[in-house]
């Protein structure tokens, strides 16, 4: 009213203020209606929850009442048992219905009263049976393990194993301590073995021109050098000329046993640095 009085009804400020008032007057009822609709929805939701809770409560009460009615018979039996315990033996008078039902049930079972019997020996564990089973299982497992280990063992133990594996004849068998023996020993079991083995090797040649004998061992230190020296010694004693070549270029041993110089060796000849006469 003050704006219309000061500036007039046609002033832009008055017109703007009037338009704002009309828009506010229109929006306020709409906002109130929206808030009331929201509150009504919440009220309906809470009412539904309350009804659901009341229904569950009524159902729980009905279940409890039904259980209580079903337990009345048990309570009657308990009351009858209490009355029987309080009464003196042989006393007259009517007995409760619960006691009659219990007595009838005991009579049907033969009057034993359901007492447990005490055994003189424990039912479990059965020590004798456990010992017998343990012995049997141990024997079976032990025998099975022994056969399994023997089946997996592919090592060579006898001369027959060597011939069967290599498909070749075995001419001699030397002891395990062969590498520790001196090749210079002309007598003794090792010399006898060498003297018996090398004639077989000599006469087994299919061609007289085959005069080269090579030796190879799977692992170092198995006596191939000592065996070679002993063999050469045997052949030399038979009047034959023997040439021994140590082709182990990494760990040569022959020159140490023969106590000779190793300045010139097989490598020098193969590289044509020296002739065979110089060697």
Distance CA 73, CA 98 (A): 8
Q: Which residue has the higher pLDDT, 173 or 38?
A: 38
Average pLDDT score over residue span 207-215: 76
Q: pTM to 2 decimals?
A: 0.37
Given a cut of 90, whether residue 203 has pLDDT beyond it is no
The pLDDT, as a whole number, for residue 141 is 95
Q: Is the pLDDT of residue 245 over 90?
A: no
Most confident of 117-126, 132-141, 238-247: 132-141
Answer for the pair 228, 246: CB distance below 8 angstroms, yes or no: no
What is the percent of the chain where pLDDT is above 70? Answer: 67
Report domain extents, the chain.
1-37, 144-243, 245-279
What is the number of H-type helices and E-type strands within the chain? 10, 0
pLDDT tens-digit readout, 56-89: 888 888 888 888 777 666 566 666 666 666 654 4
Tell me the per-residue pLDDT of 124-182, one tens digit each, with 9 for 90 and over.
Answer: 888 888 999 999 999 999 999 999 998 888 787 888 888 888 888 777 776 665 554 55
pLDDT at 135: 94
Q: What are phi and psi of 213, to 5 degrees?
A: -125, 115
Tokens of 186: 């002309």
In whole angstroms, give the CA distance from residue 204 to residue 54.
112
Contact 102, 76 (CB under 8 A): no
Using only the alpha carbons of the chain, give its radius of gyration. 58
Please give the pLDDT value at position 226.
74
pLDDT band at 2 (very low <50, low <70, confident <90, very high): low
Between the CA of residue 65 and those of 53, 55, 56, 62, what are the distances in Å? 18, 15, 14, 5
Question: Using 50, 70 and 90 to split pLDDT, how confident is the model at 90?
Answer: very low
Residue 189 has pLDDT above 70, yes or no: no
Confidence band of 93 (pLDDT split at 50, 70, 90): very low
The pLDDT, as a whole number, for residue 91 is 45
Q: What is the pLDDT of residues 12-28, one digit of tens each?
A: 777 777 788 777 778 78
Residues in the chain, how many? 279
Instruction: Give me the mean pLDDT over the 102-122 stretch.
Output: 64
Q: Is 7 a residue whose pLDDT tops 90?
A: no
pLDDT of residue 244: 86
Contact in structure between 92 and 73 (CB atoms under 8 Å): no
Q: Which residues of 251-269 are buried (b: 16+ CB within 10 A; e: fewer)?
A: eeebeeeeeeeeeebeeee
Question: Which residue in the block uniquely carries the two structure tokens 């079991």?
Answer: 189
Closest by CA to 95, choosing from 109, 79, 112, 106, is 79
Q: What is the dihedral of CA 127, 132, 135, 137, to 10 degrees?
A: -100
CA distance 178 to 181: 6
Predicted local distance difference test score (pLDDT) of residue 139 = 95
Residue 201 to residue 173: CA distance in whole angstroms: 13
Lowest mean pLDDT among 97-111, 163-177, 210-224: 97-111
Q: Token digits for 59?
A: 């159902």
> In this model, does residue 114 exceed pLDDT 60?
no
């Amino acid at each position: 009213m003050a704006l219309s009085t000061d500036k007039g009804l046609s002033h832009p400020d008055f017109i703007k203020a009037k338009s704002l008032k009309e828009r506010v007057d229109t929006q306020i009822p709409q906002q109130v209606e929206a808030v009331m609709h929201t509150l009504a929805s919440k009220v309906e939701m809470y009412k539904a929850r309350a009804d659901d809770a009341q229904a569950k409560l009524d159902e729980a009460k009905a279940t409890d009442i039904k259980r209580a009615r079903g337990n009345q018979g048990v309570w009657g039996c308990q009351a009858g048992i209490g009355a029987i315990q309080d009464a003196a033996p042989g006393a007259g008078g009517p007995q409760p219905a619960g006691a009659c039902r219990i007595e009838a049930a005991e009579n049907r079972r033969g009057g034993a009263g359901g007492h447990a019997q005490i055994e003189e020996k424990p039912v479990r564990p059965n020590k004798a049976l456990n010992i017998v089973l343990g012995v049997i299982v141990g024997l079976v497992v032990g025998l099975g393990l022994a056969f399994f280990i023997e089946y997996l063992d592919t090592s060579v133990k006898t001369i027959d194993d060597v011939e069967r594996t290599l498909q070749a004849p075995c001419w001699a068998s030397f002891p395990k301590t062969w590498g520790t023996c001196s090749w210079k020993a002309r007598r003794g079991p090792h010399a006898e073995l060498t003297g018996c083995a090398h004639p077989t090797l000599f006469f087994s040649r299919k061609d007289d021109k085959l005069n080269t004998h090579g030796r190879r061992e799977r692992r170092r230190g198995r006596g191939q050098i000592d065996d070679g020296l002993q063999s050469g010694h045997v052949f030399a004693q038979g009047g034959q000329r023997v040439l021994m070549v140590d082709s182990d270029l990494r760990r040569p041993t022959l020159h140490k046993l023969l106590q000779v110089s190793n300045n010139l060796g097989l490598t020098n000849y193969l590289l044509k640095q020296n002739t065979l006469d110089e060697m």
